[in-house]
Amino acid sequence: MSSVISFASRQQSSDTPRNLGLAVLPIKPGSMISRWASYPAIPSRMVTKMVDLRSDTVTKPTEAMRAAMANAEVDDDVLGYDPSALRLETEMAKITGKEAGLFVPSGTMGNLISVLVHCNIRGSEVILGNNSHIHIYENGGISTIGGVHPRTVKNNEDGTMDIDLIEAAIRDPRGEIVYPTTRLICLENSQANCGGRCLSVEYTDKVGELAKKHGLKLHIDGARIFNASVALGVPVSRLVQDADSVSVCLSKGIGAPVGSVIVGSKSFIAKARILRKTLGGGMRQVGILCAAALVAFQENVSKLEDDHKKAKMLAEGLNQIKGLRLNVAAVETNIVSTLIAKVLKCEKVSSALQLGLENIFRRSRGHKNHSRNAVQELGTAWYTCNARESNQVHEDVYIHSHLILSSSLIFFTTFSIRVVLHHQISASDVQYTLSCFKQALAGVREDTGI
């Protein structure tokens, strides 16, 4: 179970002090939702402000996108005749320097289709990063659906995998009956779980050369490839030059509401189209969605640099707050990740701030590595601070996290969170977020004696 956080201020009137609300809403059904309905409503006189930093996938369609969707020229895309889809696919193929493109409902499906096209024999093997999105967040689809074996190589902090380790992982079972056959290498650019780090042209070229040397295919999960392109000052086509296929997400940095486009050779896309139909991803008048994506390219690619600047501003501000640690230099795109507090002690904090702190540091279930991915997303819910609910949260935190609680002291092990900037987050939102962190951590000091 992962948890989500949002920042909210509650102000009863202009002359009352502003209190911090930091909310956690567990995603797993049945855990907290049942209690949510019984929470007291926020008084109507309160003014609330939410800064949604869960992901760049939470953006709302702009008025121009909505107008384009309403007026989209459409046809049946399963039959291959939707003009808006064809226009988007052609444009994406041109931008990436590939022969053809195919709209798919999601990045997960795009990656799955790409892997299955390249690994078309069950029992094939793909080499990918141990921290990659395909390996961690796509429900093991390449294995459960495609019978493809993942062979992971450790991701370095900068998102790369050591070239020599990739080569050492390649297996050719000729003459050996116990190994699967390696057929594919997957990269991710930018690398989300490593904090949005960018893979350089030089590095990608080396991996491409290695793949060709061993007769392997190269797939790039380019969910945020435009962020990497802007950050590196390199055209997308150059970044993916050696890739046999690329999956580009439309609903992340680009800010469209739905979908991804996979690109590659004409023969690759022909096979991908069949798999899309098999997986239930063929849709009819999909031009309604593609029209929004075309507007997103016109409106938002030019805003990515500003998103990166806001992320850097946020990182620099967070790094100045006592108890938080992060590598500001590692913030290259729109993701701020791995805020670390070695050990924190908080004495005699107010119940509201105490609850806020517990929510910040609340651990997600199922993760043993407390220095990574402690809180995967930031979200939009309230905890009302009263004794009954506070005690229940204490119990939840104790059961589902690694916190030691007492009446006057709260100890926290190493934690990390992630925030993601996008074009609908303003510079003032960044400053507000910093003020929320400062309020929440006002009573906290580092304790190195434990």
Q: Could you tell me which residue, 348 or 446, shows the higher pLDDT?
A: 446
Q: What is the mean pLDDT of residues 81-109?
A: 98
Mean pLDDT of the chain: 78
Distance in angstroms (rounded) separating the CA atoms of residues 424 and 274? 36
Q: Residue 246 in contact with residue 88, Cβ under 8 Å? A: no
Give the per-residue pLDDT at 347: 44
Distance in angstroms (rounded) separating the CA atoms of residues 182 and 215? 9
Q: Return the ∠ at Cα 117 (arms to 254 and 286), rounded to 5°.
A: 45
The contacts of residue 427 (CB under 8 Å, 6+ apart) are 310, 313
Which of 245-259, 345-359, 406-420: highest mean pLDDT?
245-259
- Number of Cβ within 10 Å of residue 165's Cβ equals 12
- Could you check whether 4-59+303-446 and 75-285 share the same CATH topology? no
Record the pTM: 0.78
Q: Return the ∠ at Cα 353 (arms to 351 and 354), rounded to 5°.
A: 60
Distance in angstroms (rounded) separating the CA atoms of residues 100 and 278? 20
- The pLDDT tens digits for 252-288 are 999 999 999 999 999 999 999 999 999 999 999 999 9
Give the per-residue pLDDT at 406: 26
Single-letter code of the amino acid located at 272: A
Helices (H), 332-374: 351-361
Question: Would you kindly state where each structural domain of the chain is located, as residue ranges?
Answer: 4-59+303-446, 75-285
Give the per-residue pLDDT at 443: 60
Q: Spell out a b/e string for 213-244, using b for 16 or more CB atoms within 10 Å of the CB, else e.
A: eeebbbbbbbbbbbbbbbbbeeebeebbebbb
Give the per-residue pLDDT at 436: 78
185, pLDDT greater than 80: yes
Fold classification of 75-285 is Aspartate Aminotransferase; domain 2 (3.40.640)
Distance in angstroms (rounded) separating the CA atoms of residues 224 and 218? 17
Q: Please, which residues bridge with residue 72 across strands?
A: none
Q: What is the mean pLDDT of residues 78-96?
A: 97
Distance of CA 195 to the CA centre of its chain: 9
Give the per-residue pLDDT at 339: 59
Handedness of CA 236, 258, 198, 329 (dihedral sign): positive
Poorest-pLDDT segment among 58-72, 224-238, 359-373: 359-373
Confidence of residue 444 (pLDDT cuts 50, 70, 90): low
380, pLDDT greater than 50: no
CATH number of 4-59+303-446: 3.90.1150.10
Q: Where are the beta strands (DSSP E) in 316-426?
A: 335-337, 344-347, 377-378, 403-405, 409-412, 418-420
